[in-house]
Structure 1
């Protein structure tokens, strides 16, 4: 066979032999290509098509808009506004060539690239950076470094405004640079409940304050869309394969009245400054509903700031001994044991009991005071005398019923319950000092709740800070807590209220609201200073008005004020807040007082 082929081959000249050899090689190559084509089209066709589709497929997150936080009247305290994260595609940027203005290409495309009507002067990532840097307010070299590579995704700048995003779109950098919808959390101006509102983290999730505790309601759920994109990054029509709409977060309305809170913040800060105090806290509560109308402190913390994200509101977290304001629940315990508000006592300036010495704030002789007079004159010795038959357990139980040492139920981040130890742990001194607000601690919300028990006629009404939650379609769900528990009978509460009004009469030259009767109690307590010794003072004033038809409970607390006494320091701010409340809510003037309980005998 081989000799015949050789003989046949020799029949052709050299040129023909070469042509035949080339033909054979081409035939082999063509056959190989045909085999591969069959393999690709028939055997691997689906895999290849899927790979091509996957390379063009994008899944874009549709960000849910975070719900707003509103005050009780609908004033926006926190909201998310439209923003964009600017994304670069380094792989596309490195092959970018600017379109020269005036060129045939520019005329064909309908656009060109220039900087101040001059050529870009570069290609690739450097050219993209030069075009983009002025709009983003960034250094071109820094941008160029981010865009130089083979990645498909790099964040160039977060949270730019829609206006900036539109200017970037005009650069005609499709497929290289684009905007990804995001949002920015913005808050009411100034420092309105800044630390209480808190802030969100870089991912838009609640990091502190109400933003954190209400995150489940505010956050919403992101959606997505899946589509195929062209070489320029544009959506190929008809290729959207799956879409899940985003569900926006719910709006949350607070019980806070922004107008009242603003005024409370103003006068509290001015009062702290005038008294050279370390800090101040103030609370306003609606007697009828338990709603917190204002909750402020003197700290200047802007919501959303790093300070707001790292800390908590002093109005919630700060605890202190209430001082003589603590005589109110103690008076209830004394009266529940059988002592009447009109019972008569002879009270010296000081006394000794169980080896412990006690005295009043100011020196005096043997005074003839009723139980109402003991409260009016804020006598420590008088409280100990009147409580002779009140057991430790009864004292403790009444404090608990007034909410001392108990959670407010508001579930606020950083909130402290204060400290109230069991009666078994009380020594011979502390069992007496609890009668005048020493030996336990509270926060301002707890102290407000305690005094509100008298304003409500003996009922401990649950406080509320969250008014309602509403969805995007406007449907609202009330979140007000309407639970209430009777603590003392109405007659006892009214008699204590009467005695508290006598306290206000005593302070009338300093603390008064023209046209309105006030029921109140002041307090001053020695507390530990920076050294740990009892070198600091907490001065407070808590009360409600009008006394004859209670509408609001107001609490003002100051740390180390120059005036020392609660009446002359916190009391002045109390009166300013009370006057504002009466005017804003157009509260009718009080009737003349005609039923004052005797304070002396």
Structure 2
């Protein structure tokens, strides 16, 4: 048999193709893969350019867009004259996305070309701008964290210098730092913020929504290096700043009262002293002061129970200042007049209950005005018995006793007065002279405001108005309504009785030279948490000038070691009152008193 070369095989015979590893086969496979890839790209291009160009462009844009929230400026708290009590200072936290911190390209204006910037050189410059060491800056900026704080609370000037370095991933976040330029003045009213900007107490907390404002947004494009693309569109929704709060408080008078109360409480080693000053005509609270007041910039330095005002947080049995209510009610009901006479022993039985006066005294024949001026419990109960318990209860409620007072603070000023059907045999008597119910110093001031205002109670106000960024004002309205509590004639008699207290009664120390002053003192037993009486509360409420009443000043001294000190409480109230009269340029007329006789007949001292 003869072997033939493969090329000479006869036609039609079987042939064997190249092996898979043959170069020609590999070439065909690669060409096929290239054609498939090119076909896929072509189809994708057709889809992107022809079928969904808008959607694909939007997706690419979304990847480049960065959204930032812009913070509004927190509103300030101002006193009645517009002086700042609390304000926010805009500061910036310098933060970074560490993943983006790397060398980057930057346009060199002088060379007119793009140059590669060594990020380490910019971090060194950043350290100098921020007042940090290079090591501290590198530690804060180099790594894999998407968010890290480099420096907190820098000024706008430092922030601008830092951002001008164009470090990739470096951002600034606006933050507000709250400042209190007057220290502890009105601190228990203003309240304070936490270190993270959270409102914690006082008006800062209760009016947080009013002062916070509404955040805005900034949307812009960034390149792959994390830096904003120059001249790219910027969309911005401006933040709406919070509104300012203008109060009825006068910061100078508030400071004076706080100093006066601090000295009073320290002299008598009392738990606290507080005071309220009200404008008779408007109900404005001009002073709401405590002997111990929190500094909003350092609240931890003050005990927790003094971080809010005791005026709002601590009701107590008012004692003899409450005698104005049954006497005014009996006069208004036409049952007595200021000059009617009563026989007044120092101890007297009423339906099996013995009522005693503060100190033993002979039996006197006294006028209603004299009973009020000398503050006799037995005489006051006799007057209260001229009207029904229900009538007296309704008058007390009308004066605000047993009802909370809302000043726009987190806590309302509380008062407890149970209905007469719940009074026992003794409580129905003790409520006539300020025991058996509780109220705050604010309630006492509001009661006397009504009597000084011709019998019309104007609800107390602490917030005068909110003022927005356009200077538009919105008056803050009390939830309560002004209303008449007694007739104008009754109120006039009560003012003359108050003057008798100062001219011939228990509080001669409250006199102010050149002014007609009226008022009422109190020495009340203070109940403990268990309900037992184990201390005293001393008070004095003043009204002046009686020719045309302008101010009510109510002062309370809580739990001194003994019941001594009533005179100095009257002096403290008079001191604050004199400051208010001088500050308001109320002239001293030197008018003679228009007081009443204390005794029915000749003086019986």
Tell me the TM-score normalized by structure 2.
Answer: 0.86
**What does 1:57-136 correspond to in 2, within 5 Å?**
57-93=65-101, 95=102, 113=120, 132=127, 135=130
Contact kept in structure 2, 1:225 and 1:240, CA below 8 Å = no
- Note the C-alpha offset of 1:443: 1.2
**How many residues are paired up?**
574
Shifted more, 269-278 versus 239-248: the winner is 239-248
Does residue 377 (structure 1) correspond to residue 374 (structure 2)? The answer is yes
Deviates more, 1:363-372 or 1:216-225: 216-225
Q: Secondary structure at the match of 1:569?
A: helix
1:144-201 Cα shifts (integer Å, max 9, x gaps): 378532x43344554333244245336x362232212222222233212212212345
2:31 corresponds to 1:27: yes
- Which residue of 159, 172, 196 maps to 1:165? 159
1:81–1:186: 8 Å Cα contact kept in structure 2? yes
Q: Deviations along 1:390-425, whole A, 9 cap, x unmatched?
A: 211112111111111123242421223211111011
CA shift at 1:44, angstroms?
A: 5.4
CA distances 1:56-80 after superposition (whole Å, capped 9, x unpaired): 2111112111111111101011222
Range with bigger deviation, 288-297 or 372-381: 288-297
Name 1:501's counterpart in structure 2.
Answer: 499
2:335 is the alignment partner of 1:335: no
1:216-295 superposed matches below 5 A: 216-237=209-230, 239-240=232-233, 242-295=235-288
TM-superposed deviation, 1:587: 0.4
Aligned to 2:483: 485
SS in 2 for 1:77: strand
**Cα 1:98/1:567, change in 2 over 3 Å:** farther
> Counterparts in 2 of 1:524-539, with a 5 A limit?
524-529=523-528, 532-539=531-538
Closer/same/farther in 2, CA of residues 160 and 241 from structure 1, 3 Å limit: closer
For 1:3 and 1:441, the matched residues in 2 are separated by 124
Q: 1:124 aligns to what?
A: none
When the two chains are superposed, the root-mean-square deviation of aligned CA atoms in Å is: 3.4
CA 110–154 in structure 1, closer or farther in 2 if over 3 Å, else same: closer
Q: Which moved more, 1:46-55 or 1:330-339?
A: 46-55
Q: Of residues 357, 361, 364 in structure 1, which corresponds to 2:358?
A: 361
How is 1:446-525 mapped onto 2 (pairs within 5 angstroms)?
Answer: 446-479=443-476, 483-505=481-503, 506=505, 510-525=509-524
2:147 pairs with one of 149, 153, 159? 153
1:98 Cα deviation from its structure 2 partner: 13
* Conserved 8 A contact 1:290-1:462: yes
Distance 1:153 1:165 in 2: 18
Deviation per CA, 1:213-258: give whole Å up to 9, x if none: 2233212111112221124433324543643221111122111111
Structure 1 residues 138 and 559 mapped into 2: Cα distance closer, same or farther (>3 Å)?
farther
The equivalent of 1:416 in structure 2 is 413
What is the 5 A alignment of 1:173-184?
174-184=167-177
**Structure 1 residues 44 and 279: alpha-carbon distance in aligned structure 2, compared to 1, 3 A threshold:** same
- SS of the equivalent of 2:552 reads strand
SS of 1:571 mapped into structure 2: helix
Gaps of 5+ in 2: 1-10, 601-605
Q: Label 1:509 to 1:339 Cα distance change in 2 as closer, same or farther (>3 A).
A: closer
Structure 1 portions without partners, runs of 5+: 115-119, 121-127
Q: CA deviation at 1:530?
A: 6.2
Separation in 1 of the partners of 2:531 and 2:103? 68
Aligned residue in 2 for 1:303? 296
In structure 2, C-alpha distance between the alignment counterparts of 1:28 and 1:98, rounded to whole Å = 40
User: Structure 2 CA distance, aligned partners of 1:467 and 1:27?
Assistant: 85
Deviation at 1:580, TM superposition (A): 0.9
Quick one: distance in 1 between partners of 2:125 and 2:231?
35
Aligned to 1:144: 139
Residue pair 1:524, 1:540 contacting (<8 A) in 2 also: yes
Q: Does structure 2 retain, via aligned residues, the 8 Å contact 1:526–1:536?
A: yes
Distance 1:579 1:182 in 2: 44
SS in 2 for 1:579: helix
1:401 pairs with 2:364: no
Closer, same or farther: CA 5–64 of 1 in aligned 2, 3 Å: farther
Quickly say closer, same or farther: Cα 1:255–1:27, change in 2 above 3 A.
same
**In the alignment, is the contact (CA less than 8 A) between 1:348 and 1:365 conserved in 2?**
yes
Q: Greater CA deviation, 159-168 or 390-399?
A: 159-168
1:125 aligned residue: none
TM-score (norm 1): 0.86
Task: Give per-residue Cα distances to partners, 1:105-125, cap 9 Å, x unaligned.
Answer: xx95688746xxxxx9xxxxx
Alignment of 1:36 with 2:58, yes or no, is: no
Contact 1:512 / 1:575 at 8 angstroms: preserved in 2?
yes
Contact 1:507 1:567 (C-alpha < 8 Å) held by counterparts? no
